[in-house]
Structure 1
Amino acid sequence: MTRPISLAWLTTAPMNPVEMIPLARRIGYAGVGLRALPAVPGETLPPLLTDPSFRRQIRDLARQEAIRVTDMEIVRISGNFRAADIEPFLDLCAELSVPHILVAGDDADLSRLASSFADLCTLAAPRGISPALEFMPWTAVRDARTALSVVTTAAADNGTIIVDTLHVARSGTTTNDLRNIPRDRLAYVQICDAPADIPATREGLIHTARQARLLPGDGGIDLPAILASLPPDLPVSVEIPNQAAHIQQGASHWASMAFDATSALLRTGRPT
């Protein structure tokens, strides 16, 4: 089965979307994920939120290249989160016809987190957007079981979950945990590989996630088992940031290598 493959923001970051979108088209990606809200304070991002002419340029370029903006990053739900504060971000996503927004859960009060997620889903629904909660082992939503609990408690029809193969391997999430997520609660799967050894510190986990992921087949994650536990039609996002590879290969060539390795994995069911 052929599945759409999109190029995640981090794989080529901080490449400007003006370059990223034509690159994705040339390589064979069906879509791109972009970032308009920072993951960390002070992060330099393209002016999607602040420059209407730039937004129009990206919208027109994506249409011209037949590339879909498949997701937009990143909404962080902390204890003082107010969904109304990010309405400009939701409007941006609606303007670009973005179906999913990536959400990180930073509120340790999971009941309040579920309520905040529900509020976000309520504002996103009329805009045709599905908030997608990503479990990450250094956040309050550390594994798939917690993510499913939060999304189920929120009880919003458009609330979904992102499965990242790195976070599956780092969080103790099992293949049964993945199978227990209903299909209508799954947004997409982010694919990468990484060393089998799990970093012992929060800093180590974050370093791998943001700067040192590997191509499928170059690490120790059981990618075939993870993919076999997920629906065969689930869209794929290639999220493989690697700072050293950017220096050695160049971001454009790295994106091509990532596409080829991911395509081979999906085609054969095993890494090359």
Structure 2
Amino acid sequence: MGRKFSLAYLTIPGTSPIDQIRIAAEAGYDFVSLRPIPMHLPNEPLFQFGEDRKLFLDIRKALEEYKIGLMDVELARVREDLKVEDFERAFAAGAELGATDVLSSIWTKDKDFAVKQFGKICDMAASYKLRVNLEFVTFSGVVGLEGALEVLDAVARPNAYLMVDTLHAHRSRVSPEDLAKVDRSRFGFIHLCDGPKEIPSLEDPSMIGVAREGRLYAGEGGVDIAGMLKAMPNNPISIELPNSREMAERGAAGHAARCLETARKYFVENNIE
């Protein structure tokens, strides 16, 4: 199969980059997607290899040893209390390790501020030859496809792309037909997972709960993954599938392996390239 797969950080959250690289390689992934930019969450482990030279060197050694690539670094958020300039060390370190992409999202309703700051992220990333992938998240500042395209149009940067997460697209009521209308050159990599068919309200705790720890393996939920993927180009897939129950039962390695196994099976069964 020609499609390339990456193991996203949130699929096995809290796992050190070295272990994530090993787990991804042993499971058969082509890439890893690492998180050197902290989210500032309670008890969050810090893997800031842009500032920790020993960790950086250990990651480089692991990537070489396991013959796997680093696809993207995350998460470059636009928010009023964050300075996008603080992301630069992560961009620089990621690029030095071979990354090609940055994952970004917007968490403010101030459109002018969002466009200005996202433009800064794109310009900073461009200096390291990195593409920036803007993800719309149902409960964020940019909630859907239309809003994401508006931001991309406004910044008009050649290294800015649209990133579609299949769960968020479903919950933002973005159809395969909607995706098919978008110029295929605008798409970046894709986040893959399944989830419940039912779409909860923004006030329902499951809106965030499922997204952060209850996503489902491909084919085990109600998301039209096949329709979405067939409407987009054959770009790399980053499997972002946090599921606390599966992690507890299978362990990080078992869960990561199951994610890739079910994705590949789903692709074959649905004639997806």
Q: Normalising by the residue count of structure 2, what TM-score does the alignment of the two structures yield? A: 0.93
Q: How far apart, CA to CA, are the structure 1 residues paired with 2:180 and 2:200?
A: 26
- Aligned 8 A contact 1:7 1:237 in 2: yes
Q: How far apart, CA to CA, are the structure 1 residues paired with 2:243 and 2:81?
A: 33
User: How far 1:177 moved relative to its partner?
Assistant: 2.4
Q: Which moved more, 1:74-83 or 1:192-201?
A: 74-83
- Aligned 8 A contact 1:6 1:236 in 2: yes
Q: How far apart, CA to CA, are the structure 2 residues paired with 1:153 and 1:80?
A: 22
> Deviation string for 1:202-258 (max 9, x for gaps)?
532111111000001111111111111111x21111111100111111111111111
CA RMSD of aligned residues (A): 1.7
> Deviation string for 1:92-134 (max 9, x for gaps)?
2222221111111012122321221111111111201111111
The match for 2:142 is 141
The match for 2:257 is 256
Gaps of 5+ in 1: none
User: How far 1:199 moved relative to its partner?
Assistant: 2.1
Gaps of 5+ in 2: none
Provide the secondary structure at the position in 2 that maps to 1:218: coil
Provide the secondary structure at the position in 1 that maps to 2:191: strand
Provide the secondary structure at the position in 1 that maps to 2:262: helix
Q: How far apart, CA to CA, are the structure 2 residues paired with 1:84 and 1:193?
A: 34
The match for 2:242 is 241
**2:215 is equivalent to residue 221 of structure 1:** no
Q: How far apart, CA to CA, are the structure 2 residues paired with 1:262 and 1:177?
A: 23
- Aligned 8 A contact 2:49 2:56 in 1: yes
User: How far 1:26 moved relative to its partner?
Assistant: 1.4
Q: Which moved more, 1:213-222 or 1:95-104?
A: 95-104
The match for 1:16 is 16
Amino acid across the alignment from 2:183: P
The match for 1:41 is 41
Q: How far apart, CA to CA, are the structure 2 residues paired with 1:191 and 1:270?
A: 16
User: How far 1:270 moved relative to its partner?
Assistant: 6.5
User: How far 1:182 moved relative to its partner?
Assistant: 2.4
The match for 2:198 is 197
CA 40–204 in structure 1, closer or farther in 2 if over 3 Å, else same: farther
Identity over the aligned pairs, expressed in percent?
A: 30
- Aligned 8 A contact 1:135 1:144 in 2: yes
> Deviation string for 1:139-177 (max 9, x for gaps)?
111011111110111000000121100001101112232
User: How far 1:49 moved relative to its partner?
Assistant: 3.2
Q: Which moved more, 1:28-37 or 1:38-47?
A: 38-47
Q: How far apart, CA to CA, are the structure 2 residues paired with 1:21 and 1:174?
A: 34
Q: Normalising by the residue count of structure 1, what TM-score does the alignment of the two structures yield? A: 0.93
User: How far 1:82 moved relative to its partner?
Assistant: 4.1
Q: How far apart, CA to CA, are the structure 1 residues paired with 2:25 and 2:81?
A: 40
User: How far 1:81 moved relative to its partner?
Assistant: 4.9
Provide the secondary structure at the position in 1 that maps to 2:127: helix
Q: Which moved more, 1:99-108 or 1:178-187?
A: 178-187
